[in-house]
Structure 1
Amino acid sequence: MTGQGKVWLVGAGPGDPELITRKGHRLLHAADVVVHDRLVSDTLIAELPPSIECIDVGKAPGRSSPSQRDINEMLVRMARQGKRVVRLKGGDPYIFGRGAEERQALLEAGCAVEVVPGISALTGATATAGLSLTRRGLSSTFAVMTGRPMTGRTLPNDQWRALAGLDTVVVFMGVSAALELQTELVAAGRAPDTPVLLINDGTLPTQSTHRTVLGQLDATVREQSIGYPTIIVIGEVAGAWKPGDEDLASPDASGFVRRDADLQLSSSEPSDEVPESRKPSGLYPMTLTNLAGRRALVAGGGRVGARKVRRLLDVGARVVVCSPTATSELQDWSRSGEVDWIRGRYRPDHLQGCCLVFAATNDHRINVKIAQDAAELGLFCNVATDTTSGDFRVPAVLETDGLLVSVSSVEGDPRRARRLRDRIRENLVAPGA
């Protein structure tokens, strides 16, 4: 390839693959190379044709990744090779995305570059959770900050006082700095009982919300094992939020998102049907107690597959992952020997010796085929793309004070189950208790 190439810094949106802009989607499919972050939707990458080279440069807390300088040099090199390069970033490139640094490096090298904005998690995650950052009588000002200051040190005292005086503070990448946020804001004058809402996996089917107060922020993060990506909202708008405010959505069998409110049908005609609440669900609840050392297959190397693997590792299972690509977390587990990663697409022989199967690819047809193959061998299979398919579901789980609470919905809506789980947590683990 000859001639001068170009780099587009494209915002992929907050997580839901449907929230990328039309321009961003068009450029993505016209690229020669896609250089993407860790939090970019797996679906966006999986949909690309094999002719497009995909390079994962995602950064993750506590693990090695390319430096920003390495990424800048890579973009310049590929642009000089005449390639059309999409630098795909989670959210918006200019909100804690280091887009300005990459643009500057490209311009200084004489390379053509264009920025394509994206929906930030600032608005995407909060809106999907049903929380308004501005609200009459509660919040007319808000500030956005990162929990990992670029300078590598804490903010000056005057900046903490300024933040404490605002109605609402939104924190990106703040779970690892929860204790500092709690301590500094309280020291700067913010009341310890200020409401806080944490939104994990915003806009995704796995989105979960956690309520607490500022004085218990660090304890909540640790006790509930809240990880990345999480947005922390501090202020009275968090106190006004209720679990029922969430814009609930769940994937249907085709992989598209189903909005439950859009599917409600009503009729004035009388019915002889037995009320739904009195019908047997056909579900048999159980808890697996002995997976240690037993082989489990996870087909799919994206974030959904990684969550399945994480839980299996926690109970000591021997995990095999089959997928052409894998998240940085899965790659780390593979390098450490905790996971056996088969770098390729699913094949029926991968099922040999397994006791459980998780079909978690981005292609529902492949997941159905895996479930069929597993059934022929008498194996139980979980289908991630349709919770009503397969042989079992993975419930929303709460572990506290020696209790294991599992919640599933009869209709297979994981977000409804997580919402009820969160309500149970609020009653069992009250903030400040």
Structure 2
Amino acid sequence: MNIRFTHLALAGALVAGAAHVAAQAAARTSSSVRVCTMPGSPSAELDKSVARAVLSAAGITAKFAPRGIDDDGGDDGISARELSASLQRNCDVIAGFPRSSVADGSDSHLLFSGSYLHSGYVSVTLRGAHAANTPVTAPDGKITIAATWSSPSQLIAVQQKNARFDLETTSELTVDALAKGRAQRAIVWYPAVVAYRHAHPQQHFDVAVAESPYADWNLVFASGPDTQPLQKRIDDALTRLRSDGRLAALTRNWALPTTIASGSATAASTHANLARYLDGPIQASPRADLWRVGGMPAAGGFIKVAATTETPSFDHDQVTHGEHLYTDSCAKCHGEKLEGNTAPSLIGPAFAPAANSHLTIGGIYQYMSTNMPADHPGKMSDEEYADLMAFLLYTNGYDTGSAKLTAQAAQSSTTPLNAGPRH
């Protein structure tokens, strides 16, 4: 497995779920509206084109924020504070906000328009001569699947059998891993495939349905609370553009192929009960400030909280209990010795390098406690996730101490996850 941490994808945090917004600014219904797009989104140019057309039809001029959603440049996700700041200072509307049946934003304070693009995550392989130069399987019979770290792509990929993974940090790099032969298949956000084709017209792919409740999505306009008049004008304009064919013309090259779109919708419907099961229960504090949408854990980025730079302490009993938890709930995917099986390795330089890790202990804990186990995220208690984190730290070279590791201490740690002193 190859994990490439050049820059942790910020889009994954918001593609997998909506945000809780504290902004109280009233809707702008005057002659101009400030528009942001999602950070790193491959559909950003489409989102801008649709926003211009829709707002123009509504009699409003679109003014685009040069930076899109305002984040602080870190690699650990977008916080509620950052999104709130964008809706207060930089923009009134977010174009290209993703919604799905398992992450519909119903628990957030955001308001949403109708959909302007039905899209989602797809299974992609090389076509023709390009595929002939890529080995079908490795000697052990497994194929390599490229996926995007900390996104629905990864959640879908880890369900695949007889596979190892090349986890990339952006959807563009995920497609590139397939194109460059590092993987035989990719699970990826479909607009990234479209954008890659535009940039590399000589490259051809075969695209199929990704069978998962997390695969089916729609792009919409989102805005803060108290913006009902603005959202009504946007919806009315969308209706007019849909009726006269202008919306279809704008989105034609980005829409899922008809066979894929119908298959994706069917798969989402078929897996409706599974999706509810996978979502798991909403956990209480100290993870209460992690965004959850429609009962779904905030799958994706490492949401930030108040932090400490001290290495958290844990004791021997936690390591022992954490090992039992790992064996029962994690080993089937991550391997009996954490070496990686159908999910990434949790030991060694790919997970905890000797130095300069892009991941933090708190980031790993937050991702694990909201997204894992993959077949029932959030099923453990706070104490159990803390014990599991203690086991991971111990197996990666950290020594036990006298104090127990608490969930709050694990969550707030900004210590880079480098190999511990015993490694």
Same fold by TM-score, threshold 0.5 exceeded?
Answer: no
* Higher-RCO chain (CA-CA 8 Å, sequence separation at least 6): 2
- Asked which structure has the greater CA Rg, the reply is 1
